[in-house]
Amino acid sequence: MQLLTFLQTDNGFCRVYYKDNVKNVFCYQPSHVRGQYALYACSRDGEPSHAVGHQDFKIDCLPDSEGCSTAAEFSAWYLSTVSEHQRISAIFYPQVWVDDEAVEVDPGATTIDVTSEILRLGRVKAMALKDNDSPSDDLRLAVNSPQWVQNWPGPFRVVCSQSIRDYFSRDTVAAAS
């Protein structure tokens, strides 16, 4: 599994460009099947040369989709096709106060898919997240988070840093292939 680093979005050609760790350029562009994208290895000038299997790659961030239809469509497609072993998760631990101490309660740990939120942050910001810290606590509000988790009234903690490190680690990426 190879990690690709975002380069740019080209609305004119409906392409989203990434590079690998040796600076080879790749682009995702719409395939012949409506709503689907294909990954292509590109020449240095950005022209697609041949298709490659996108399941062998993962990306470091989603492109900014504000005002960019190509980025929005690509992001929706990518998130819908990410395999289970490429997902990033956070674990939510609900707690209550008992004698001034936060104690875990039922239903216990709940795993939340935070792939979308982490890839929108990008690798640098995501790697800076720490477990049980205010920025990582916001992951409980993820799109895929159960409503009861989003509305939890008491204390809680969120653990995510290991899953994030596993996703972005080049060692893990190389070992998985």
In a domain, 176, yes or no: no
71 & 10 share domain: yes
Report whether pLDDT(51) > 80.
yes
Query: Is the confidence at residue 173, as pLDDT, over 60?
Result: no
- Please classify residue 64 by burial: count the beta carbons closer than 10 Å to its beta carbon, then call 0-12 exposed, 13-18 middle and 19+ buried: middle
Number of domains in the chain: 2
Q: Are residues 52 and 112 in the same domain?
A: no
Asked whether the beta carbons of 56 and 49 are under 8 A apart, the reply is no
Residue 108, pLDDT score: 81
My answer on whether 119 and 54 are in the same domain is no
For the segment 115-119, the average pLDDT, to the nearest whole number, is: 96
Q: What totals of helices (H) and strands (E) does the chain contain, helices first? A: 7, 10
> Considering 48, 66, 81, which residue would you say is the last residue of a domain?
81
Q: Do 122 and 140 lie in a common domain? A: yes
The model's confidence at residue 65, banded by pLDDT at 50, 70 and 90, is confident
Domain enclosing residue 89, as ranges = 85-170
Lowest mean pLDDT among 135-139, 143-147, 158-162, 170-174: 170-174
**Per-residue pLDDT at 176 exceeds 50:** no
Amino acid residing at 142: A
